[in-house]
Amino acid sequence: MPTDNSHSDSWILAAQCPSRLGTVDVVTRFLKERHCYITELNSFDDALSQRFFIRAVFRPEQGFDEQAFQRHFAERSGEFDMSFTLNAASRRVPTIIMVSKADHCLNDLLYRYRIGQLPIDIRAVISNHPDLEALTAWHQLPYYHLPVTAETRAEQEAQISEVIDASGAELIVLARYMQVLTPAFCERVSGRAINIHHSLLPGFRGARPYHQAWEKGVKLVGATAHYINEDLDEGPIIAQGVEAVDHTHSPDDMVARGRDIECLTLARAVRYHVQQRIFLHQGKTVVFAD
């Protein structure tokens, strides 16, 4: 499994609470008292909802007891009604990738995983087609071919759930998985399943969207990564990418540009998730981009 020791001694504290005086101080003062040096700090106050969000990356300068830290910080932040998570920056999140036939996003994620660029631990790849088994096997990862039809969707999703549970996966990445998921499954993986799709304006649905866009003379192509929900391609947005095109670009050129943007945008969204840069709030996201 890839290793990355660049953050081996760092921790990430992510918290949110109602807006009130002293929210930054309760975090920074506590870290100072615990002899923790802050290397990165982001905060945001949503004036409309009166909600406060903060993320701190810190390096302990003395011995560090994770359980004691969590217990004492919960006591200190309790008066602010603050919820928080604490994770080692070096922790690799157990991940399942779901794909269909297109290989560009899967190939990109596997490469970034192999060289240690993405802090994830890929436990398996799931597909409704057999096409990408060889690519997955080359990376010495399990591959589950789980075919699906409209009549067997519930049964197939139950099989997917079994793989997720057995692998201990905390993150599910839909790397061009071209099947509509049931509301029940979307609810089961809410907040931990990321999807990628093209972003073209105006919108084009159905087959060959880039060819449709070319026929309309579209000048921008892009991609959107988002958490899934029961509304197709309309979940909370994490990251987006865009690139200009013009009349000199053929449909195939636009498809190639779109693939590149999809890969970059999906990888960015996965990284933001595992680095605890994302807060879900009122059907949207607060994202502390790097």
What is the spatial distance between Cα 162 and Cα 175, in angstroms, rounded to a whole number? 19
Which residues carry out catalysis?
233
Q: Give the pair of three-digit tokens for residue 243.
A: 């690139």
Alpha-carbon distance 150 to 285, whole Å?
32
Q: What CA–CA distances, in Å, run from 258 to 74, 142, 217?
A: 45, 28, 15
CB 232 within 8 A of CB 262: no
Question: How is residue 168 written in tokens?
Answer: 């201990």
In 181-272 the beta strands, taken as DSSP E runs, fall at 193-200, 220-227, 237-244
| 264/223 Cα distance (integer angstroms) | 9
Q: How many Å apart are CA 44 and CA 284, to the nearest integer?
A: 14
